[in-house]
Structure 1
Amino acid sequence: MDNTGLLTIGVFARRSWLSPRALRLYEQQGLLVPAVVDERTGYRWYRPAQLETARLVARLRRLDMPLARIAEVVAANEEDPQRAVTLLDAYWTDEEYRVAARRELVGHLRIRMLGEDGSLDMHSVQVREVPQQTVLTQHRHVRVQDLPAWIDASIARLLKAAAGHGDGMVGPCFIIYHGEVNEESDGPVEICLPVEPDPHRALEAAVRVEPAHREAYTRITKAQVAFPQILSAFDAVRAWTEREEIVASGSPREVYFADFANAAPQDLVCDVALPI
């Protein structure tokens, strides 16, 4: 066995800032496969050229990036560094959203521990008039753990149906909660997509008219949309109506007026509203 020019696992570990244990794990994951493995002793040797990949893996791990995503970045970096950077940016965007969402969760927990009145300090509530709207709609009983996937799939279906109807979607999509949605309760939930009324055109979705109404609402960021911190916004709106002695006339809802997928965690994207 000719190991000329190869590095032992100990030397390679020191130069790559990785432990021999980590190197064996990354070998199992297909991230860093030794150049030579002695079948009798199991001893491993690496090529010096593998140091660059090893150091990239070490740095990505310091970002707490999962091994599956590291493998994707490493593979892309060997063929197209720009795509690898795009994957890195996408991961960091996800991380920033998770951190922002957790920060909002801390705020929500503080409110819950200090009492309901604290929610009014965190959210400014306003009132507006909402005109009558024709909407494509979809209902379902769904628990909170399944809600995001169902919302994404349902909006995609409604957008497809709206695409062949006049100008398509003509107003913000909104989600109505006709009942409690949490780990135990399943709504039901209704997704509504505003379109121009056209009695002569058949649509591949249920259609109804959402009556004109007034509503109290508070505007929240993308990070605040995550469950359960979004409950602080619902609590704030309901607490405001109770304080003002205003009676709710419909079910609470989320109104998405911005591009949620491409928004930053601190961007305003949604109104939590209650018809009054």
Structure 2
Amino acid sequence: MTAPSRVQYRFLPARTLLCAINHLRPARLDNFVNGASLALPTVLTEQGLEQLGPVAIIYHSPVTEESDGPVEVCVPYQGELSVPNGLTQHTDPEHREAFLPLTKREFMDSALFGAARREVEQAARANGDVLGPLRRMDYGVWATRGEDEVVGELAVPMKWFNQLRPESRGRLFP
């Protein structure tokens, strides 16, 4: 008997994202992600706008010695923004997503992270058409949380199949 999936599902409305994107190798990955995760919310604050959700790190392709991504760091916001040079904005269309909250230990342990990634990707494929690459959400609480406390999540955007949906609690949708 297999353990029940920890994957959850939610609907996200269309939203505007401020993004930094870069092609890079592993040696520069942490500096880029950490820098962009701090800089993007600052851009919003300086223009009087509010961040509407966690920072999302999107790996469009693997980052290895042979592959340079790209990697995109994004923050959702609402309002009129003057986009600084070197950044972009785009609309993330409404969608559902499969997501899995993770502890600091799960993010730091490559075996646990790999298992979580497979679990959320399999759940997304089993319940819909995958619309984009895996997203790593960062709640911005790493410094204040212990190893077994949730600090973020993995998410996969998807379009539901016409079937019984996990969050429907047994009701069928057309």
Q: Structure 1-normalised TM-score?
A: 0.51
> What CA distance in whole angstroms lies between the structure 1 residues aligned with 2:75 and 2:22?
15
> What CA distance in whole angstroms lies between the structure 2 residues aligned with 1:169 and 1:235?
29
2:30 pairs, out of 128, 133, 148, with 148
Q: Which residue of 1 aligns with 2:132?
A: 250
Q: Which amino acid aligns with 1:221?
A: T
* 1:124–1:218 Cα contact (<8 Å) kept: yes
Change (3 A) 1:259 1:123: farther
* CA shift digits 1:159-193 (9 cap, x unpaired): 22111223332211111111123443221110001
Aligned residue runs from structure 1 range 76-225, under 5 A = 121=3, 124-198=6-80, 201-204=81-84, 205-225=87-107
* 1:141–1:189 Cα contact (<8 Å) kept: yes
Deviation at 1:216, TM superposition (A): 0.7
Q: Which residue of 2 aligns with 1:240?
A: 123
Identity across the alignment (%): 28
> What CA distance in whole angstroms lies between the structure 2 residues aligned with 1:132 and 1:121?
33
* 1:123–1:233 Cα contact (<8 Å) kept: no
Deviation at 1:261, TM superposition (A): 2.5
> What CA distance in whole angstroms lies between the structure 1 residues aligned with 2:20 and 2:42?
13
Which protein is richer in helix relative to its size? 1
Gapped runs of 5+ residues in structure 2? 159-174
Off by >3 Å, runs of 4+ in structure 1: 120-123
Q: Which residue of 2 aligns with 1:21?
A: none
Change (3 A) 1:237 1:134: same
Higher alpha-carbon deviation: 186-195 or 254-263: 254-263
Which protein is richer in strand relative to its size? 2
> What CA distance in whole angstroms lies between the structure 1 residues aligned with 2:64 and 2:116?
15
* 1:179–1:189 Cα contact (<8 Å) kept: yes
Change (3 A) 1:136 1:245: closer
Q: Which amino acid aligns with 2:89?
A: V
Change (3 A) 1:228 1:145: farther
Q: Which amino acid aligns with 1:185?
A: S
Q: Structure 2-normalised TM-score?
A: 0.77
Change (3 A) 1:253 1:168: same
> What CA distance in whole angstroms lies between the structure 2 residues aligned with 1:125 and 1:183?
31
Q: Which has the larger radius of gyration?
A: 1
Change (3 A) 1:261 1:182: farther
> What CA distance in whole angstroms lies between the structure 1 residues aligned with 2:114 and 2:4?
12
- SS of match in other structure, 2:144: coil
- SS of match in other structure, 2:50: coil
* CA shift digits 1:79-128 (9 cap, x unpaired): xxxxxxxxxxxxxxxxxxxxxxxxxxxxxxxxxxxxxxxxx749611111
Gapped runs of 5+ residues in structure 1? 1-119
- SS of match in other structure, 2:130: coil
Deviation at 1:263, TM superposition (A): 1.8
CA RMSD of aligned residues (A): 2.2
* 2:59–2:135 Cα contact (<8 Å) kept: yes
> What CA distance in whole angstroms lies between the structure 2 residues aligned with 1:187 and 1:269?
24
Is structure 2 residue 147 aligned with structure 1 residue 262? no
- Greater relative CO (CA pairs within 8 A, separation 6+): 2
